[in-house]
Chain A
Amino acid sequence: MALRDQLRRPLLLILLVVVPAYVVTRSIATTEATPRLIELPDGSVIATTMRELHGAIMAGMTIGFVAALVGVFVMQSALLGDRRLVLAGYRPFEAITARLLVLISLTALVVAVSALVTAAHFTPMLWPTFLLSLVLIGLIYASIGALAGAVLDKLAATYLIFFLALTDLGVVQNPMFGDGAPADWAVILPGYGPSRLMVGAAFSPTLHPFDDLVLSLAWVLILGGGAFLVLRRSIGRQG
């Protein structure tokens, strides 16, 4: 039922396809093939081009921002109306699961579109790990959006996630800037783990992603768990 509700909003589905498709395609197409040295997660330095780099990372940035926006409004919609579902007889777990399923499905759509568009312009060395990194970015930022939507109003939440996604994924973790490696302090940001995975999978045929994977999964669990708890508290409260 919750998923059917999304199908009744064709403009949303169109935009969830068009926005990532346009942003990824356009940014890669307009990037010059300027040489660039970057540092991979294993510490090795490779030579690539700005265009290849942009092909590798633009999907992640786009997914982060769009998934976070989706998270904001799915959470706000849930907080507005799902309590009534519980009062009408649904169990809180059912209502929460439905909402999280919608969030995950829409995030998956954005990830799929971004990955397909990226594939048209760029071939990562390790596709499975690259895809995994995109999924992790989507889940992390969808959860951040959900949490922002729970505590802030629409405008403030939109501003916050715009700034956070662009700063974390677009600047701090972006090997197109600076010396080609994120600063040491970048590890405290949620985009660090999946971004390192993404860059490593894009350019290295051998990758040992354990640390970055664990860090990414920890963020997913903490943030996703937080979103679940917020929903549980709001929807399942007594009286």
Chain B
Amino acid sequence: MSGFGAISGNFLREQIRAPLNLVLLVAIPAFFVLIFASVLGEFAEALGGDLARQSATAISAGWAAAFLCGALSYFQVSSSREADRRLALAGLGPRRVATGRIAASLALGVVVSVVAYLTLWLRSGVAHPLHVAAAIFIFAAIYIGVGALIGTLVRGPLEGSLLVVLVFSLDVFSGPAMTSSGGFGNFTPTNHAANLLIAGGGGQGSPTSDWIGGAAIAFGGLLVALVAFFLSARGRG
């Protein structure tokens, strides 16, 4: 267990070795929630969504967590591919490298989610704290999987970043926050998470189906990320 802790700790330190990375990981979700929360209600109304102001504030926290974790996870896979292979060949094995990476991703996902949640709470108050906190983390977990999957498939950093942006845009524009028409939006990765966060932000409960759906997709996202890290670390031949 101490070996696992050491590996995960090193992977975590790798991401925050540049102090500015840590500053941005904390500052951006905070500023994102503060700035976008005030305009998202108007924006959603313009796009035909039926988002109440409190819910618009809450959804901004989910989106911040999603994009930041998606980009983070993508660069974890794409930037560390060769180093992880060497670590695995040197004796760690791909399984331990993968579990170390997922632990580091989860830790950073928690940091981003906590900052977004705290900003939300300080700015607007949160009627259902655990509900909202869980929903924000579900966004983060799903996009850890999205970023890792893209990192496995796409090597070029510009291409990978653009693909993360494209998936995020598809998700946001089709989700329940931005449109009330359903359709394709019912199949976006964060559909259930968005419903959870909109309800929680509005001080309402959520149906069990949204909880089960959100949890299942978050678990699936983390599983995809674990497999992606494993495949990335597995040596050739």
Q: Which residues of A contact B15 (CB under 8 A)?
A: 155
> B163 near A15 (CB under 8 angstroms)?
yes
> B166 near A22 (CB under 8 angstroms)?
yes
**Residues A8-25 near B (CB distance < 8 A):** 9, 11-12, 15-16, 18-19, 22-23
Residue of B nearest to A50 (CB): B46
* Min distance, Cβ B224 to any Cβ of chain A, angstroms: 20
Chain B 32-45 near chain A by CB (<8 Å), digits 1 or 0: 10011001001101
Q: Which residues of A contact B45 (CB under 8 A)?
A: 32, 34
Q: Which residues of B contact A32 (CB under 8 A)?
A: 45-48
> CB of A162 within 8 A of chain B?
yes
Q: Which residues of B contact A87 (CB under 8 A)?
A: none
Chain A 151-164 near chain B by CB (<8 Å), digits 1 or 0: 01111101110110
Q: Which residues of A contact B166 (CB under 8 A)?
A: 15, 18-19, 22
> CB of A27 within 8 A of chain B?
yes
* Contacting residue for B72 out of A16, A72, A73, A155, CB 8 A: A155
Extra inter-chain contacts (6) besides given A156-B24, A176-B43, A177-B43, CB under 8 Å: A11-B154, A31-B48, A76-B157, A162-B28, A171-B35, A171-B39
> B173 near A69 (CB under 8 angstroms)?
no
**Residues B128-187 near A (CB distance < 8 A):** 154, 156-159, 161-163, 165-166, 169-170, 173-174, 178-179
> A177 near B42 (CB under 8 angstroms)?
yes
Interface size on B, residues (CB 8 A): 40
Determine which residue in B46, B48, B159 has the highest number of CB atoms from chain A within 10 A of its CB, and name it.
B46
> CB of B11 within 8 A of chain A?
no
Main secondary structure of the interface of B (DSSP, over half): helix
Q: Which residues of B contact A74 (CB under 8 A)?
A: 158
> A154 near B79 (CB under 8 angstroms)?
yes
Q: Name A residues whose Cβ lies closer than 8 Å to a Cβ of B.
A: 9, 11-12, 15-16, 18-19, 22-23, 26-27, 30-32, 34, 50, 54, 65-66, 69-70, 72-74, 76, 152-156, 158-160, 162-163, 166-167, 171, 174, 176-178
- Contacts A27-B173, A34-B46, A177-B43 given: A159-B28 contact, CB under 8 Å? yes
Residue of A nearest to B170 (CB): A22
Q: Which residues of B contact A72 (CB under 8 A)?
A: 158
* Min distance, Cβ A155 to any Cβ of chain B, angstroms: 5
> A154 near B75 (CB under 8 angstroms)?
yes
Q: Which residues of B contact A154 (CB under 8 A)?
A: 75, 79, 157, 161
> B24 near A9 (CB under 8 angstroms)?
no
> B159 near A9 (CB under 8 angstroms)?
yes
* Min distance, Cβ B93 to any Cβ of chain A, angstroms: 26
> A163 near B32 (CB under 8 angstroms)?
yes
